[in-house]
Structure 1
Amino acid sequence: MKSNKIRIAVFASGSGSNAERFFEHFKHSPLAEIALVCSNRQDAYVLERARNHRLPTYTFTNKQLQESQDVLLKLQEEKIDLIVLAGFLRLIPSYLIEAFPNSIVNIHPALLPKWGGKGMWGIHVHEAVVKAKELQSGITIHYVNGRYDEGDIIYQTSCALTEHDSPAEVAAKVLRLEHEHYPKVVEQLIREKYKE
């Protein structure tokens, strides 16, 4: 194991309830630390959550992400080892994927490869699952490549649905899985990836 803690950057675009689970999970971890919280929205509530945990934040525009090296330079400056996407709604550009090979992780609120791809995020995913009369949904934690929701799968788990579940009820069931499993799976990944 590296002598220093693994430094994680959390990327989020919205409220950051998953990000908050990471802040709590790694607060006293000897293994890893949340070193930076990044957002492409100045008004994202995740930034408030980060400040409440006294974590450093960094915001950037979508143009900066796509057309400059600003984000990469900041991550390098902060000596980031691993990027965790927690409700980050932009496609990660190829230069970042190349700089962090197999070191960018995302969670998707459905069982991939179904219900993935562009436009499949948040309530849109759960509406599609309900419309298809699926009797289970779940989460998929996966590596990020250059296409939405197509990276190698790290972990999946499911929950039972009923034919009467609304998209909001499916969302609540899936969110419970996200909160329970995402930080633990990333911790296990770190143990496997960075052990000597």
Structure 2
Amino acid sequence: MSEQERGGLPRLGFLASHGGSGARAIAQACAAGELSALPVALASNNSASSALAWARAEGLAAAHLSSARFPDPAALDRAVLAFLQEQRVDVLVLSGYMKVLGPQVLAAYEGRVLNIHPSLLPLHGGPGMYGDRVHAAVIAAGERESGATVHLVTAGVDEGPVLAQSRVPVLLTDSVEGLRARVQATEGPLYVRALREFLSAP
């Protein structure tokens, strides 16, 4: 039985590849009492990621789990799942995680994995669409509006149900850097709001 089912706070686990800005925003909201959840664990596929260093400094269970350590994809999938289960994670939050989740993790956490993507899905999502590639595609397509999307993770990349979106204008003079900055400014608050609504849903 999970912590959530026992009436305690839901336990959050994070996967991040670089800075983990979403994880940091969510942890800050939890500490401030704005979000009723308990961050407990973070794993990264990048041993040098600042997200991993941050997690250790914050006292979260932290692990480097990557193909460098587990060359067999099935073994890596099992290692990630074992880490999450050892920490009794109830909800898994992806924070700039640049790898596709394995089938065992997806099955064990079905309906309980959240991700944030820097466009208004279903526009400009899918395999290979991440970071500045997304913003460049938005500008090239002549979109008038962009933003960020929090969605549930399924086997299809960026295909899960949308939970919440933020919206920003795309300016005629926009550069990738300018649009990125405008979208990123909305991502932390959006992730916190989407997670709060997700956790309070019946």
Give the TM-score of the pair, scaled to structure 2: 0.90
What amino acid maps onto 1:21 in structure 2? Answer: A
- Which of 55, 60, 79 is equivalent to 1:55? 60
- Aligned residue for 2:73, secondary structure, equals helix
**In structure 2, C-alpha distance between the alignment counterparts of 1:100 and 1:187, rounded to whole Å:** 18
**In structure 1, C-alpha distance between the alignment counterparts of 2:27 and 2:62, rounded to whole Å:** 13
Mapping of residues 132-171 of structure 1, within 5 Å: 132-171=141-180
Q: Which residue of 2 aligns with 1:176?
A: 185
The CA deviation at 1:28 is: 4.8
In the alignment, structure 1 residue 19 sits paired with structure 2 residue 31: no
Gaps of at least 5 residues in structure 2 are none
The CA deviation at 1:92 is: 0.9
> Which segment drifts farther, 75-84 or 54-63?
54-63
The CA deviation at 1:157 is: 2.2
Q: Which residue of 2 aligns with 1:126?
A: 135
- Aligned residue for 1:156, secondary structure, equals strand
**In structure 1, C-alpha distance between the alignment counterparts of 2:67 and 2:122, rounded to whole Å:** 27
What amino acid maps onto 1:83 in structure 2? Answer: L
1:23–1:53 contact (8 Å) kept in structure 2:
no
The CA deviation at 1:58 is: 1.4
Gaps of at least 5 residues in structure 1 are none
2:150–2:190 contact (8 Å) kept in structure 1:
no
- Which of 25, 37, 40 is equivalent to 1:35? 40
In the alignment, structure 1 residue 78 sits paired with structure 2 residue 87: yes
Q: Which residue of 1 aligns with 2:74?
A: 67
Q: Which residue of 2 aligns with 1:112?
A: 121
Partner deviation per Cα, 1:124-162 (whole Å, 9 max, x = no partner): 100111111211101111110112101111112211121
The CA deviation at 1:80 is: 0.6
Give the TM-score of the pair, scaled to structure 1: 0.92
Partner deviation per Cα, 1:172-196 (whole Å, 9 max, x = no partner): 0110110221112102211115xxx
Quote the sequence identity (%): 29
